[in-house]
Structure 1
Amino acid sequence: MFKHFHQVVEEGIAKNLHYGIQLSVSVEDQNFEEAFGTIDQNTPLQADDTLCWLSAAKPITAVGILILQEQNSLSIDETLGEILPQFQESHHASIPLRQLLTHTSSLREVPVNWPQASWPEILVTIANSEPVENWSEDQSAAYLPSSSWFLLGSVIEQRSGQSYVDFIQQEILDPVGMNQTRCIADSTHASSAHEVLLYDRVKGQLVLSPLLGRMKALSPSPGSSFRGPAADLRLFFDMLRSQGKGEFGQVISQASIEQMVQRHRQGRVDQTLQHIVDYGLGVIIDSNEYGPQTVPYGFGTECSSKTFGHGGSQCAIAFADPVRERSVVIIANGRPGEGQHQKRFRQLLEALELDLKSLS
């Protein structure tokens, strides 16, 4: 059914870019769950196997923040100093949550020693860090892979009175029906029969990734520790283009979704991504106008300008296109380096377009 997509996957396997890839797509009222290749060199990858999402799950935490705003428990224009005690005397006290969600704050990415360090220790480390020099609130932008997301997770705990894990489970994962999704090592949740594996490409060969250590952590990283099958993450994006309705209940209002997917950050060069990339609140907005063949973690050349989503470091893309009525999640179990990854996923998205056109 997805012959063009499958061909690109096989070409990547031959080049040692990955062992396998999951694809989950919803188009109007049709759903497709596919898996190609293997978990390792021998075991076939299944559509319901768990894979690492890394940063592709960042929008889950962003939705958590917006749920609390709906409940009048916070405002995204409140500052770190107003919410977190560790930041009352920090250089970063005046940073509003809005800037964390759009990656426009003067925070820098700092080593926080997670998961060995506790969240309170991580907050102190970030609070004591120096701001980026010569930062312009009107012009500067820099994607932060993890630091700011520990802050957002802590804000959720502070204002909800629940643990981050429990809040996300009850307010998002359960009503959406994301039954296999986890953000910590937890044997009480349903999971796949196979161990979660992720590989990095080193000197042309796939080796087990050091990031796998995160999967054994008992404390979450709100920006990077989620894992599950591609289908679970696709359900999350289906919810966002279904007026916030999950399979088992309402998650968030349409008004909050519309606020989330506005271009809050527009036309700024991202110092981390080295490209102009537009942002909503915790989501990347289609940025093809700045170069469809060069924009990192894009959503394909044929997506609408309303498309929003997020990538996972060298392994994943997840997005919703409300105009074309589709949600797409692609997750690879190999991280081949940024250049190879961007080329690979552009080819996968191009192949997917061909396959979906053949179905219509």
Structure 2
Amino acid sequence: MSGPRAALVAGEASGDLLAGLLLQGMRQRWPGLQSTGIGGPQMARQGFQPQWPYEKLAVRGYVEVLRQYREIVGIRDQLRDRLLRERPDVFIGVDAPDFNLGLEEQLRKSGIPTVHFVCPSIWAWRMKRVEKLQRSCDHVLCVFPFEPELLARHGVAATYVGHPLASVIPMEPDKAAARTALGVPATGEVIALLPGSRASEVEAMAPRFLAAAAVLQQQRPGAWFVLPALPALQSRISQLARSGPSPRHLNIVTGQSHAALAACDVALVASGTATLEAALFKRPMVISYHTHWLTYLLMKPRHLQPWVGLPNILCGDFVVPELLQSNAKPRLLAGALRDWLDSPARMRAVREKFVSLHHTLKRDTAQLATDAIEKVLAA
């Protein structure tokens, strides 16, 4: 059975996960779907044919991007030329707005319909990016409920589709099964360490997280730590654990970030999509991030809200602590984790907030997204 030809670009592990879930829904609607572009293993499981792996684009920060700018621009130019020749029925940019929006604008000008999945966080920073959305996108698939109205005020067509992870992550995670699967004690305290999915994030955050865990281990000798790592980064993380401070009870596991979040009592998480995953698992967390000082200097004045982490942004309050830049010190991170573990009532209260958030974000994303894409294809 024939189906549409779709080109997609996902620029990091979280985008690969979201795109994989989207492709699953598209294949259910269009069994003959053909898809190609830039992506990773989650997309490949849905029949996606990658022309480049997403790791080529997985770079954070202004300063860091400059080091790989020529290669990234070269990839975008090659992909653009290929898509202009092959003329897919639709192009779907999955997050990665710095890469995708410029590409979408050029494809749209040539008559190729464009959809952007995950609205750029214009409500948090870089509000002027909405002008780029106007030029680049025929339609935006929004994962947060307040976004379509905001975009409509600027003439951008959009649909709230819910967050795909809210349908994948169970409302009641099975902690006992996850602990068994990861080989950590069934009882006692377990802390998940999630230092990021990009190589540059791991270099910046993993040593801090491991050192914080070592401090906490001294104070709580019975605690266990689980660090899920992408296969490409696992050896480097293991090397960092051997060469610097790290806890005695540490399991570095391949992938399995969801199992780690299900198994843990509290998580230490690098700012990004993983913070939302932790919230959907109803886990108290400490959010942290540290980037090049110049990148931080450039980004800070553009930030429109007092929060950085998605759970805090969506709840409109500092429901979990954020320790950024100069505050991302092992001693402070360990203290913030300890504060959670020492306050069961506070942990229960934040879990209740996250249950409410989960219900808000849970929608039939596959149906809503493919309905919107079908309208774009028919236009």
TM-score computed with the length of structure 1 as normaliser: 0.29
The structure that is helix-richer by fraction is 2
Which structure ranks higher in relative contact order (CA pairs < 8 Å, sequence separation ≥ 6)?
1
* Larger Rg belongs to: 2
